[in-house]
Structure 1
Amino acid sequence: MIDEARRRAYLGAMQVVSWLPRVALPFAAPSRPELLEPLEPLEPQVPPAPVRPGVELKIVPEAPPRPRPVERAKIEIPRPAARVEAPAAASEGAVEPVAPKAAPLPPPRFALQLLRAGRCALLVELPTGEPFQSRDPGYLLLRDLLRAAGLADSPRPLGEPVRWPLLRGGNLDQGPQAAREYVQTFVAARLEEEGDCACLWLVGLPALRFAAALEADAFNRELQVEGLPPVWALPGLETLMEEPARKAELWRAMRQVRVRWISANE
């Protein structure tokens, strides 16, 4: 509702002189009584018809015209601007955007050789990527380690070396996870064919990472890995040649572990 001053301003703009509301309006001035009285019908002025002699005329009064209903002017009251609703939440059936897949990791590069010496198997990192030759410094060091451990110093290879990546180019996933699954499957299959194995040496960081998911902090320790015999982790042959001080630490660890395969040989 609006006050009387604004109401009269609206009516004046529409050239409405008088009007009658249907209901009592708040803040409105009292109506004038004369506006509420019904209007008197106007009698039309009819010119008298010529009268013929001897004819009696009867004048029938016409019915007063019915007053036309006064149309009330429509006043549009300005409404407050509609509030903009926030967009509705997505329906349950809406498809959520799929996050883009992360780019595959680059394939690692390594070469491993699986060997057998007595009751032990050895997964050894190949420093040059090629099978051991009889005069290779790394192979001579490996033979010294086997003699110190009380094992045969001429290990025999179990299958071909594992070189990663397997393929060059192409869209095949050859990341770290694929390499780990491949090495673990290869080692498990070869050890199952060989039968009794008292211990598995993992020589070098790639052997630890891709055969047992271990890191360098596991060096010189005996560990239990699911799906494998007891594991003994050793630094790589090149590391031992470059850092001779690490051989003493390795020898102390070997004295505690060698009981496993020596007792198995008896």
Structure 2
Amino acid sequence: MIDEARRRVYLGAMQVVSWLPRVALPFAAPSRPGLLVPVEVPTQARAANEAETSAPLEVAPTLVATDVDAAAVEVAPLRPKIEVPRPSARGQNRPEPAAEEAEAPVAEPAVAAPPRFALQLLRAGSCLLLVELPTGYPFQSRDPAYLLLRDLLRAAGLPDSPQQVGDGEPIRWPLLNRGALDQGPDSARDYVQAVLQREREGAACLWLIGLPAIRFGGERDEDVYCREFAVEEVGPAWALPGLELLMDEPQRKAELWQAMRRLMPRWKDA
């Protein structure tokens, strides 16, 4: 059984305007006793009705409420009907004229977030090295990444103590922490390549070590690991995996060594 509040909700959903219970409902407000008493139909009127009725149909007795107060009849508010637009002949709803005339908002172009990297520019013999700094700070003499770099230079037949170029400060990006200056990927690439063009004199080959160095110094991606390609206005370049990646995945050293043997004549004969 349900309570009075829920019963009213159900009756309102069925659009029952007024109703009268036949028996006392549980959890409902008490009814007046006079509402449940059937009204006796006069004998003459009953006889006239039976004479006019030809079909042997049994008519259920009708309960007529007498002395019904207006306040005793509960009227549930009718729910407004919601008009559902019907599809057109082609199966599509026609848009409103106002919707057709409304102009679509113009989306503003998304601003690319500035990349973050730190690169060190070094020189070893006739090679220029652009190396990703794993820690973001210049190499120390006992850093594992720096020791691996020295091993690579010795294997390539180059001096194993590379010299810093310029003032020795790493190339850091973004340049500014605040301000309206464009520091997106395109600006970072232009800046790194400008530094390489300034320092490329006397370099037989450019080593791009690490994905940021390859991406912003050579405009390539990781699919060119251990390959040689030309960088416009800089010269021939060789892409190497990052030093941290070589330490984490030693199996890459075999492919790196094979590529190094093919390219050695470039800087040895310079």
TM range (shorter): 0.5 to 0.7
Structure 1 residue 101, shift from structure 2 partner: 3.9
- Name the stretch that deviates more: 137-146 or 158-167: 158-167
Do 1:104 and 1:173's aligned partners in 2 also have CA atoms closer than 8 Å? Answer: no
Q: 2:215 aligns with which of 209, 219, 226?
A: 209
Matches of 2:269 and 2:259, distance apart in 1: 17
Matches of 2:137 and 2:131, distance apart in 1: 12
The answer for the alignment partner of 2:143 in structure 1 is 136
Matched, 1:230 2:239: no
Q: 2:253 aligns with which of 236, 244, 247?
A: 247
Matches of 1:99 and 1:116, distance apart in 2: 50
> Between the two proteins, what is the percent identity of the paired residues?
63
* Number of residue equivalences: 167
The answer for the alignment partner of 1:42 in structure 2 is none
Higher Rg: 1
Matched, 1:167 2:173: no
Structure 1 residue 170, shift from structure 2 partner: 1.9
**Judging changes above 3 Å, is the alpha-carbon distance between structure 1 residues 98 and 227 closer, same or farther for their aligned structure 2 residues?**
farther
Q: TM-score, normalised by structure 1?
A: 0.60
Q: Secondary structure at the match of 1:248?
A: helix
Matches of 2:108 and 2:218, distance apart in 1: 27
Gaps of 5+ in 1: 1-96
Structure 1 residue 103, shift from structure 2 partner: 2.5
Matches of 2:219 and 2:235, distance apart in 1: 15
Structure 1 residue 173, shift from structure 2 partner: 1.2
Gaps of 5+ in 2: 1-103
Q: 1:121 aligns with which of 128, 141, 161?
A: 128
Structure 1 residue 199, shift from structure 2 partner: 0.3
Quote the RMSD (CA, aligned, Å). Answer: 1.8
Q: Which amino acid aligns with 1:148?
A: A
Q: C-alpha offsets along residues 120-159 of structure 1, whole Å, 9 cap, x if unaligned?
A: 0000000000000000000000000000000000000113
Do 1:122 and 1:201's aligned partners in 2 also have CA atoms closer than 8 Å? Answer: yes
The answer for the alignment partner of 1:197 in structure 2 is 203
Matches of 2:236 and 2:105, distance apart in 1: 44
Matches of 2:211 and 2:116, distance apart in 1: 12
**Judging changes above 3 Å, is the alpha-carbon distance between structure 1 residues 134 and 224 closer, same or farther for their aligned structure 2 residues?**
same
Matched, 1:187 2:196: yes
Q: Secondary structure at the match of 1:189?
A: helix
Structure 1 residue 98, shift from structure 2 partner: 10
Structure 1 residue 189, shift from structure 2 partner: 1.1
Matches of 1:133 and 1:161, distance apart in 2: 13
The answer for the alignment partner of 2:162 in structure 1 is 155
